Amino acid sequence: NLGVDLFFCCFLRFDEIKEGDVVRHDGKRSDGYLEHIFKHAAKELFGVDVKEITYKALKNKDFQEVTLEKDGETVLRFAAAYGFRNIQNMVLKLKKGKFLYHFVEVLACPGGCLNGKGQAQTEDGKPDKALLNQMEEVYAAIPVRLPETNMHVQKMYQDWLEGMDSKKVQETLHTKYSTVNQTASNLDIKW
């Protein structure tokens, strides 16, 4: 597995946000952070400047993968798993050791965040497709700003995290994985 520890965050007070401050990450929808991380990882790890990402639908439209090939070898393999059924399938594959992805974007709502139950629905309780399309258009019209070029993110790294390569960055933003011992419990979920 690649040790890709990419995480950008920004702490803003809403009363400090002005018109023009609202920006989005790369990606077609609000849940498409995978696209930014994929492009960033391709550039930083392999020197490849990815302009356009092509998703390949696997079992269904809510389980897709994106790969980067270099010299005939797949060097990055990302997936987007939306909806509980796909999440359950992903967990099962992980348990069996058959899940070969370097990064997975997981969202509970099929179709992503804009299609979630907290969004507007028709009177019969189904997603309002016209409204969903309109929300996606509005989101796509928001300017893209890469998190690493955002002055608020840079200030956070400088002031709070004590620089880009500090010990505090390693402790705060990077993840370490270790084996978890199984415990027998009636509360364990068997997927």
Report residue 11's pLDDT band, with 50, 70 and 90 as the boundaries: very low
Over residues 32-42, the mean pLDDT reads 86
| Dist. CA 127–CA 111, nearest whole Å | 10
What letter does residue 115 receive in the DSSP assignment?
G
Among 2, 67, 71, smallest CA distance to 34 is for 67
Q: What is the pLDDT of residue 13?
A: 46
Measured from the Cβ of residue 80, the count of other Cβ atoms closer than 10 Å reads 26
The string over 95-129, giving b where at least 16 C-beta atoms fall within 10 Å of a residue's C-beta and e elsewhere, is: eeeeeebbbbbebebbbbbbbeeeeeeeeeeebee
Over residues 63-77, the mean pLDDT reads 93
Report residue 2's pLDDT band, with 50, 70 and 90 as the boundaries: very low
| 31 against 160, higher pLDDT | 160
- What is the CATH code of the structural domain delimited by 17-113+142-163? 3.40.950.10
Q: What is the pLDDT of residue 6?
A: 35
Q: What is the pLDDT of residue 12?
A: 43
Report residue 83's pLDDT band, with 50, 70 and 90 as the boundaries: confident
pTM equals 0.64
**CA 86 → CA 14, 32, 58, 173, distances in Å?**
35, 17, 11, 27
pLDDT tens for 89-140 read: 888 888 888 888 999 888 887 766 666 666 667 778 777 778 777 877 877 7
Q: In the numeric block, which tokens belong to residue 58?
A: 């696997």
Among 79, 109, 107, 111, smallest CA distance to 94 is for 79
Is pLDDT of 9 > 90? no
| Structural domain boundaries in the chain | 17-113+142-163
Query: What torsion, rounded to 10 degrees, do the Cα atoms 83, 86, 90, 95 define?
Result: 100
